[in-house]
Amino acid sequence: MQKIGILTGGADCPGLNSVIRAVVHKAMQEGYVVTGIKNGWMGLIENDLRIVDLRLTSGILDRGGTILGTSRLIPPLQEGQMQVIHENFRRGGMDAIIAVGGEDTLKIGLELFRHYDIPVVGVPKSIDNALSGTDYAFGFDTAVNVATECIDRLHTTAESHHRIMVIEVMGRYTGWIALEAGIAGGAHFICVPEFPVHIENICDSLKARHKRGKTFSIVVVSEGARVLGHDARMELDDRRHGHRVGRIGELIANLIEENTGYETRVSVLGHIQRGGSPTAFDRITGTRFGFKAVEMVVAKKFGEMVSLRDNKMRSVKIEEAVRQHKTIDEDLYRLAQTFSG
Ligand code: F6P
């Protein structure tokens, strides 16, 4: 019987289990068995494999995280590790691998496809929605909804205390979460990595609101955002934790207080955005991605990634998806600016 391997790599996010479940159901329909590779590509380095069947995938659709576990491996891997992956892939009797992950996981998959002839199909996962070649990666919608709910909650306390609330959300290279949660949550200023701002711009807009009698404001900031002339890491003695960039929210809050005299607080949402149950959209998208990934294995579309374009399932070369980050929609950013000041 033919075998498909599946792994989930890099940062976890809600919807991974929806993909795994759909892969197992569709693979069985196509006459494959599914081998679960534990903890991303690390599972092939450590030869940590197990059969995933309907018994294991039952009841996981609405569960966050991943039943396969994950790990962060930053490409390029060492030469020896690629060889070990290749050997364990052959030894495991797999005919293809479905790699569910973001930029790092897919780049490793692409290398293995190109230089070790491993048939890889990619599935786009990124709560930051930063992967090119697809309108959406799953996980993003849940993160936006979680962040929006948090902004709503911070809104009421900001208003009661006449304070400025700075809310730092995820988004290392792209500001999708800040932009969409900011619009949905009625933010008064949104800072994204794509458009560095002067602190004067933020403060002028908050002062304009005060003049209109609005003594509170909400400022949403991507973790990768920048304030021109300031370096969050230098000024706040930043210590990097894993992939987190960190502490831009704190820098902006300090600068706002210094420049306006308004009492300011900061909330860093962090991994709360990655936990818990996926939204209906992410469950459906994850399910569609898993189904399509198996179809691509059957059609031998290797070196490609599942993609969602104009609400249709398609495929793109992995190379295209990881070449550069998908930056925010500028029209949407301009729309958000209408609500500043
Ligand atoms: O890449 C997704 C992401 O959630 C980023 O937004 C964030 O910077 C990073 O992962 C956090 O990584 P870690 O879980 O390793 O701290």
In a domain, 299, yes or no: yes
22-38 per-position pLDDT tens digit: 999 999 999 999 999 99
Of 128, 204, 237, 329, which residue is the catalytic one? 128
- Which of 240, 274, 308 is where one domain is finished? 274
Q: Which amino acid belongs to residue 194?
A: E
Query: Do 19 and 122 share a structural domain?
Result: yes
Q: Which domain covers residue 181, as residue numbers?
A: 144-274
Q: What is the pLDDT of residue 242?
A: 54
Query: Do 218 and 162 share a structural domain?
Result: yes
Query: Do 156 and 129 share a structural domain?
Result: no
In a domain, 328, yes or no: no
Query: Do 158 and 88 share a structural domain?
Result: no
Query: Do 92 and 10 share a structural domain?
Result: yes
Closest Cα partner for 94 from 73, 67, 76, 112? 112
In a domain, 20, yes or no: yes
Q: What is the pLDDT of residue 100?
A: 98
In a domain, 64, yes or no: yes
Going from the Cα of 244 to the center of ligand 1, the distance in angstroms, rounded, reads 5
How many domains would you assign to the chain?
2
Q: What is the DSSP letter of 328?
A: P
Query: Do 33 and 93 share a structural domain?
Result: yes
Q: What is the pLDDT of residue 241?
A: 46
In a domain, 341, yes or no: no
138, 170, 179, 238, best to mutate for ligand 1 pocket (most atoms within 8 Å of CB): 170
In a domain, 337, yes or no: no
Going from the Cα of 72 to the center of ligand 1, the distance in angstroms, rounded, reads 10
Residue 324 CB neighbour total at 10 angstroms? 11
Query: What is the domain-level CATH number for residue 307?
Result: 3.40.50.450
Pair 142, 127: CB distance under 8 Å: yes
Q: Which residues pair with residue 317 across a beta bridge?
A: 304
Query: Do 128 and 12 share a structural domain?
Result: yes
The atom of ligand 1 lying closest to the CA of 102 is: 1
135 in active site: no
Residue nearest to atom 12 of ligand 1 (CA): 243
Query: Do 27 and 129 share a structural domain?
Result: yes
Helix (H, G, I), strand (E, B) or coil at 146: helix
Pair 326, 130: CB distance under 8 Å: yes
Query: Do 71 and 42 share a structural domain?
Result: yes
In a domain, 340, yes or no: no
The atom of ligand 1 lying closest to the CA of 170 is: 6
Going from the Cα of 11 to the center of ligand 1, the distance in angstroms, rounded, reads 6
Regions of the chain with pLDDT less than 50: 239-241
Query: Do 194 and 128 share a structural domain?
Result: no
Going from the Cα of 161 to the center of ligand 1, the distance in angstroms, rounded, reads 32
- Residue ranges around ligand 1 (CB below 6 Å): 11, 72, 102, 127-128, 170-172, 223, 241-245, 274
Q: What is the pLDDT of residue 232?
A: 76
Q: Which residues pair with residue 165 across a beta bridge?
A: 218, 265
Query: What is the domain-level CATH number for residue 185?
Result: 3.40.50.460
Query: Do 283 and 261 share a structural domain?
Result: no
Query: Do 130 and 155 share a structural domain?
Result: no
The atom of ligand 1 lying closest to the CA of 127 is: 2
Going from the Cα of 171 to the center of ligand 1, the distance in angstroms, rounded, reads 8
Q: What is the pLDDT of residue 244?
A: 59
CA distance 281 to 15: 9
Q: What is the pLDDT of residue 234?
A: 63
* Cβ neighbourhood burial of 91 (10 Å; 0-12, 13-18, 19+): exposed
In a domain, 288, yes or no: yes
178-198 per-position pLDDT tens digit: 999 999 999 999 999 999 999
